[in-house]
Structure 1
Amino acid sequence: MLVGIGFSIGLHEVGHLLPAKAFGLRVPKYMIGFGPTLWSKKKGETEYGFKLLPLGGYITMIGMYPPAKDGSIKASRSGFLQQLSDEAKHAEAETLQPGDEKRLFVGLPVWKRITIMLGGPLMNLLLAFVFLSIVLVGFGTSTATSRVNEVYQCVLTQQQQQERNAGDSVGGQCQPGDTPGPAYAAGIRAGDVITSVDGKAVGPQDWSALTQAIQDKAGSPIAVKYTRDGTEHSTSLTPLKTSRPVTNRLGQVETTRDGTVKTAEVGFAGIGSTVQNLPKPIWEVPAFVGENVKAVANVVIDLPARVVGVAKAAFSPEPRDPNGPMSIVGVGRIAGDITAMDQITVKDKIASYLSLLGSLNIALFVFNLIPLTPLDGGHVVGALWEKIRKTFNKIFKRKDPGPVDLTKMLPVTYAVAALMLIMGVVLIYADIVKPVTLG
């Protein structure tokens, strides 16, 4: 898993490196990790290497900040924010070499700068497509088939279930007078294969068609055809109305902003599918990746609040949200849990590792698009704002103010970096003392 994470981070930086070199920028460094350098080698203008802490990576590009307006990088002006800006420009000016004047990042057209900054996240999105395509198409995934696995003979409320479990040895078994399960009452039994629902054919992997029809038509009869021992049968099934948790395409229960589980009034038939590990067609991969991106984006939108929740769980008996954020340590522990499972095959373990790497790359894609420096999204927003400003000044025939000075955003950059560090420490600690575990 460590190799896979390093590979993903390394290719993220390659996504920046290749367009930067293609557009003529000088890239002094390409590094994987942070801290002291373990190994490096210079090839051409660029030094390639590995650092001690494998918690990320970076490339350095010449001319990320515009020079001072008076032409003097060493200009000293009053004001804390201005001093930060001047010091950053001075430090960058010292790295310039003869001939770099026409190779500055800020001197590139806006579309080229956006291409460079989006290259990293898009590389992660491409890797997610590759990893998840291998899993879905090559290995397959758990799929509900049209073969019935179980049918509930009756429907019990939660209160009835509790009363029977506490009152006698019959437990949750059906008794005379109980509400019969809709599917059982319709004559459907385990082993039957559903072939048609509401006049529409049901394929071997179209169990969702039956599920959707049941949920949409509570209290209304549904025509169902099925085969048993090679003979086709017809019946009518009337779903009961019940309140159920709302789940997304990934099977995760959806919650409101305050953590309350979302519910909906839907039809219930008391029927279950036989689940098999089946390959998916390649055209289903984009939708699956899109659902993962949406799920990760929902986490990132309120990431600080989610991290606070993780911290509370780490320092209290509160359970930890299994769908919440985790650090690289947490990903490693999940991989370790998978490795330790004797009841699953090596093939399934490899598929699980690839799924983890696919999810990790989706997280890197979404996180780096946050529109705040030092993240890639912050530089993209800066370039877009420059384009808008130039267009506005051109329309009104005003003087072009030049490139957007991102050194003015250094306080935000430092604050974001500090917040990322704090959140990283919290998540690593939580992943050690109260990790998310399988099962």
Structure 2
Amino acid sequence: MTLLLTLLGIALFAVGLLLSIAWHELGHLSTAKLFGIRVPQYMVGFGPTLWSRKKGETEYGIKAIPAGGYIRMIGMFPPGDDGRIEARSTSPFRGMIEDARSAAYEELQPGDETRLFYTRKPWKRVIVMFAGPFMNLILAVAIFLGVSMTFGYATQTTEVAGVQKCVIEQSEKRDTCAKGDPVSPAHAAGLRTGDKIVAFDGKPVDDWATLSERIRDTIGPADLTVVRDGQELTLHPTLIKNLVVQKDADGEVVADKYVAAGYLGFAAKTEILPLSFGQSVDRMGDMIENGVESIVALPTKIPDLWNAAFSDGERKADSPVGVVGAARISGEVMNLDIPTQNIIATFLTLLAGFNLSLFLFNMLPLLPLDGGHIAGALWESVRRNVAKLFRRPDPGPFDVAKLMPVAYVVAGVFICFTLLVLVADIVNPVKIS
């Protein structure tokens, strides 16, 4: 059964991946056709074609390797300085440029002169290239909001899950009391498991973040109002200073960092609760912020990835994960001993995170990514507007093809990084349980 569920999880992720890619390319396709650019091909995947059908002027198909997709637009690059779209050169760098330019006109037909990508105004080209990643962002937001507002996420509440009998500095990372440890304020005041804290020092509290902040800010006597067995009563603990885990501006725990703060001594109960629209948007904003930080931090992850792949290094929980790793996680999700609705919510959240990563990664201003073409179109717009402002001759379209040597270097770096992640995902995968 375990193997069957794992294979089912991998298959579901593969389907989700294909749909995400198809959705991405649909953004490019629809806007390209909207602006009259001819699109001979719309393909999901790479490698040999498994299925294809031509409808109108576009061939739609699925290829064997579900690791990406593409649409082929005519005239991605302008002709060379000599006006030719095909030429040969003995220079390897020049050859790269000419090969890219030649491929852009490979399926040129009579009448296509007015339907070339590079002839469209820069703002239209920006829309065409941005539409693909934007579709992934729309899908990520839709899935995330749907899950958070209907199913919800694990949320700490003001209900008491357990009371610490003694005071232990959290940096010690132990749960059992030792001889000489003082009695915790919560235990001394008579706080019990199952109590629901509704007010602190006479001020109502209905969420853990607020309660936690007030506890940390208090050292000395306090009034704690709780509901126990349907009745409200007030306890009078005396909070003390203790070394507790540090929290960031968003209230998230900072690993292995501690601060001196007020201490009561109990564990908050965690429940899966739906979020409001506002809370969901805030959490989505945090996810996007964390995603941007993760993209920026990718180069710093290489040493840990290398150690995880080729030595006995630990594979950290925030380690980059590729398609294979995500598929393995999906298979692991299907085997978790949790309710079916939790499994569905976890899988959908994984898919939302994948689409968010596709959006952020493709927006990098580097060729051959969509962001590189966007940057080229924006630079062309700046050049032409500056020339117009100073009444200079129109510099013409910016020749993105001249950046193809750089694109090959970037692609090579991405391929090497992808292979490193692939090896790490196989020999030392990230696990969620």
1:168 counterpart residue number: none
Q: For the Cα contact (< 8 Å) 2:185–2:239, is it kept in 1?
A: yes
Rounded to whole Å, the distance in 1 between the matches of 2:171 and 2:17 is: 48
Q: Which residue of 1 aligns with 2:113?
A: 101
1:123 is displaced (CA, Å) by 0.8
Could you tell me which residue of structure 2 aligns to residue 89 of structure 1? 101
Note closer, same or farther for the CA distance 1:264–1:415 as it changes in structure 2 (3 Å cut).
farther
Q: Helix, strand or coil: the match of 1:155? A: coil
> Is the Cα contact below 8 Å between 1:182 and 1:240 reproduced in 2?
no
1:158 and 1:92, CA in 2 relative to 1: closer, same or farther beyond 3 A? closer
Deviations 1:295-351 (A, max 9, x none): 22222113233133212112111111111111111111111112223x212221111
Q: Which stretch has the larger CA shift, 283-292 or 10-19?
A: 283-292
With the length of structure 2 as denominator, give the TM-score of the two structures: 0.90
- The answer on whether the counterparts of 1:219 and 1:241 sit within 8 Å (CA) in structure 2 is no
Read off the aligned partner of 1:282 and give its amino acid letter.
F
Alpha carbons 1:299, 1:306 under 8 Å: kept = no
Matching residue within 195, 199, 203 for 2:198 = 195
* Aligned counterpart, 2:19: 7
- C-alpha distance in 2, partners of 1:415/1:253? 37
Counterpart residue number, 2:212 = 211
Q: 1:264 to 1:362 in 2, by over 3 A?
A: farther
Q: Which secondary structure does the structure 2 equivalent of 1:356 belong to?
A: helix
1:187-237 C-alpha deviation (Å, 9 max, x unpaired): 43222111123543222xx1111012223x153655432222312325355
Larger deviation, residues 24-33 vs 126-135:
126-135
Indicate conservation of the 8 Å contact 2:77/2:101, yes or no. yes
Matched, 1:328 2:340: no
CA distance in 1: counterparts of 2:408 and 2:313, whole angstroms: 32
Query: What TM-score comes out, normalization by structure 1 length?
Result: 0.88
Q: Which residue of 1 aligns with 2:39?
A: 27
Quote the Cα distance in structure 2 between the aligned partners of 1:218 and 1:300.
39
How many angstroms does 1:142 deviate by?
1.3
Structure 1 CA distance for aligned equivalents of residues 69 and 155 of structure 2: 38
CA-CA distance at 1:68 after TM superposition: 1.9
1:371 aligned to 340, 365, 369, which one? 365
Corresponding residue number in structure 1 for 2:140: 128
User: Helix, strand or coil for the counterpart of 1:371?
Assistant: coil
Are 1:121 and 1:369, in contact at CA under 8 Å, matched by a contact in 2? yes
Query: How many residue pairs are counted as aligned between the two chains?
Result: 420
Q: After superposition, where does 1:274-353 map in structure 2 within 5 Å?
A: 274-341=269-336, 343-353=337-347
Measured at CA, do residues 336 and 183 of structure 1 come closer, stay the same or move farther in structure 2, by a change above 3 Å? same
Whole-angstrom distance in 2 between the partners of 1:428 and 1:273: 39
Matched, 1:140 2:152: yes
Deviating more after overlay: 245-254 vs 423-432: 245-254
**Cα gap change, 1:240/1:414 in structure 2, threshold over 3 Å: closer, same or farther?**
same
Percent of aligned pairs with the same residue? 40
Alignment of 1:180 with 2:183, yes or no, is: yes
Q: Secondary structure at the match of 1:277?
A: strand
2:419 & 2:103 partners in 1: Cα distance? 29
| SS of 1:179 mapped into structure 2 | coil
Residue 29 of structure 1 contacts residue 59 of structure 1 at CA under 8 Å; is this kept in 2?
Answer: yes
2:32 is aligned with what amino acid? Answer: A
CA displacement 1:403-423 (0-9 Å, x = unmatched): 111111101111111122112
Give, as a single letter, the amino acid of the residue that structure 2 aligns with 1:383: A
